[in-house]
């Protein structure tokens, strides 16, 4: 709050940074976090705070140039992050032009967070918070209006992150990995290996689906029927078939090849689904083994079994 009280005394015209020409200042950095309400902007700002950035939430748009100027002049806060969103109302329309000016003076990255309507509606239902656009209409209608209002800002974003499949901790971990100094890896994608049963339907959120029903089914072995693919005896049985190991080798190699390309395109979350008949044995074992292979390759992996046990 002390910073904001000082900033409000500024009287020079907004949208310009005085005394800076040419290339952006190499020693200073500004991150602008924006996007949909409920998409995780507060969690993102907290991640940057943990990384040592000086953080401000809900900074008025017209004060961004002055904030950037203060960052340039200060030797103590070279890395700064702020949140600007629909709470600014009509002033938000000025953001693209203001950021264009700011980027000429300071290295600036715009992060736009979004999520599916289904995910945002669930979050609003859980928190019972009103949408910033008011309570005069439904949350779904407000989300639609907000997307239209933010369309121009999304187009200028340097990084767009869909947080639909992230929880709070995963989002913060993703941003921390991506922005921490001297990061030793570019593998910033979170991979989810999911097993499922075809008789229960294919997962709606699957990016890649592999059918493993060609493998012999442990369900027809009486001693395995009540167990799952996580049991050592069941897993050992499935591995005895040569096609099992060949499949795991080929799929793991394919994924290790594909993942850097997904990362290069900005994908932050990939769901790989393995399906068998009931989702109890073969798909479970394959998801576990492929997950282990991807972890060894240096990727962050979650393994989940949608239909096991049923």
Q: What is the pLDDT of residues 220-252, one digit of tens each?
A: 999 999 999 999 999 999 999 999 999 999 999
Does some domain include residue 115? Answer: yes
Does some domain include residue 292? Answer: yes
Phi, psi torsion values for 115, nearest 5 degrees? -160, 165
Q: Give me the domain span that covers residue 265.
A: 190-305
Q: Is the pTM of this model over 0.75?
A: no
Does some domain include residue 36? Answer: yes
Does some domain include residue 168? Answer: yes
Is 198 found in the same domain as 138? no
Looking at the 3D structure of the chain, how many domains does it have?
2
Does some domain include residue 25? Answer: yes
Specify the 3-state DSSP secondary structure of 216.
coil
- Select, from the ranges 6-15, 128-137, 150-159, 242-251, the one with the highest average predicted confidence (pLDDT): 242-251
Is 165 found in the same domain as 49? yes
Question: Tokens at residue 183, please?
Answer: 């990061």
Mean pLDDT score of the chain: 84
Does some domain include residue 232? Answer: yes
Confidence at residue 294, expressed as pLDDT on a 0 to 100 scale: 96
Residue among 8, 33, 21, 62 at smallest CA distance from 179: 33
Is 121 found in the same domain as 14? yes
Nearest-angstrom CA–CA distance, 120 and 143: 8
Is 155 found in the same domain as 35? yes
Does some domain include residue 225? Answer: yes
Among 150, 179, 208, identify where a domain stops: 179
Is 124 found in the same domain as 207? no
Is 48 found in the same domain as 136? yes
Is 273 found in the same domain as 220? yes
Statement: residue 292 has pLDDT above 70? yes
Is 162 found in the same domain as 119? yes
Is 230 found in the same domain as 83? no
**CATH number, domain containing residue 170:** 3.40.50.300
Q: Other C-beta atoms within 10 Å of 11: how many?
A: 6
Residue among 78, 73, 76, 32 at smallest CA distance from 56: 32
Statement: residue 32 has pLDDT above 90? yes
Statement: residue 161 has pLDDT above 50? yes
Is 194 found in the same domain as 56? no
Among 130, 157, 179, identify where a domain stops: 179
Is 297 found in the same domain as 211? yes
Confidence at residue 187, expressed as pLDDT on a 0 to 100 scale: 53
Residue among 176, 196, 183, 184 at smallest CA distance from 271: 196
- Across residues 155-181, what is the average pLDDT? 85
Q: Pick the residue with more confidence: 242 or 139?
A: 242
Does some domain include residue 185? Answer: no
Confidence of residue 79 (pLDDT cuts 50, 70, 90): confident
Among 179, 213, 234, identify where a domain stops: 179
């Amino acid at each position: 709050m002390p910073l904001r009280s000082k900033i409000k005394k500024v009287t020079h015209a907004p949208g310009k940074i005085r005394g800076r020409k040419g290339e952006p200042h190499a020693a200073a950095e500004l991150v602008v976090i924006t996007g949909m309400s409920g998409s995780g902007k507060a969690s993102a700002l907290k991640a940057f705070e943990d990384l040592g950035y000086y953080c401000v939430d809900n900074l008025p748009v017209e004060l961004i140039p002055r904030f950037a100027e203060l960052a340039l002049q200060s030797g103590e806060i070279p890395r700064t992050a702020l949140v600007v969103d629909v709470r600014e109302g009509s002033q938000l329309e000025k953001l693209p032009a203001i950021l264009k000016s700011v980027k000429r003076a300071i290295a600036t990255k715009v992060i736009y967070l979004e999520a599916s309507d289904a995910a945002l509606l669930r979050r609003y239902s859980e928190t019972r918070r009103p949408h910033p656009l008011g309570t005069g209409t439904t949350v779904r209608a407000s989300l639609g209006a907000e997307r239209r209002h933010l369309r121009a800002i999304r187009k200028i974003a340097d990084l767009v992150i869909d947080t639909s499949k992230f929880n709070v901790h995963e989002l913060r971990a993703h941003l921390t990995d991506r922005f921490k100094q001297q990061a030793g890896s570019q593998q910033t994608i979170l991979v989810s290996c999911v097993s499922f049963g075809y008789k229960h339907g294919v997962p709606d959120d699957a990016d890649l689906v592999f059918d493993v029903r060609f493998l012999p089914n442990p369900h027809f072995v009486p001693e395995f029927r009540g167990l799952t693919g996580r049991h050592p005896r069941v897993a050992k049985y499935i591995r005895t078939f040569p096609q099992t190991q060949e499949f795991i080798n080929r799929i793991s190699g394919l994924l290790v090849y594909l993942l850097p390309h997904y990362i290069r395109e900005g994908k932050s979350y990939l769901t790989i689904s393995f399906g068998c008949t009931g989702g109890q044995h073969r798909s479970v074992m394959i998801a576990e083994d492929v997950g282990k292979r991807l972890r060894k390759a240096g990727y962050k992996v979650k393994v989940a079994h949608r239909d096991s046990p049923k």
